[in-house]
Amino acid sequence: MLERMPHKDRTKVTFVLPADSPPGPVSVVGNFNDWQRGIHTLRPCKDGKRAVTVELAPERTHSFRYLAAGDYWFNDGSANEHDGSNSQLHT
């Protein structure tokens, strides 16, 4: 799930997943972090979910995917659209 908070010069996007699905650590990777794992790792929240907030440039399309343990890549069903194997997010 994606939560967006637009600001004047940026958009804060929170990437949210259930606590245990998939199991183990999960990172969000995309063109905003040069597709590097571990930079934006989802952390446990009080409500039992995992989340990470990333500040993104406004009025752009950002490609991203999630990367879980065991090199398990997956997309976000709440993304604006999908382009090949990547989720697309419009800010």
pLDDT in tens, 43-80: 999 999 999 999 999 889 999 999 999 999 999 988 88
Q: Domains of the chain (ranges plus CATH)? A: 2-80 (2.60.40.10)
Question: Cβ atoms within 10 A of the Cβ of 8, count?
Answer: 5
Mean pLDDT of the chain: 93
pTM, to two decimals: 0.91
Beta strands, E only, the chain: 2-6, 11-18, 26-30, 43-44, 49-56, 61-68, 72-74, 81-83, 86-90
Which 3 state secondary structure label does DSSP give 87? strand
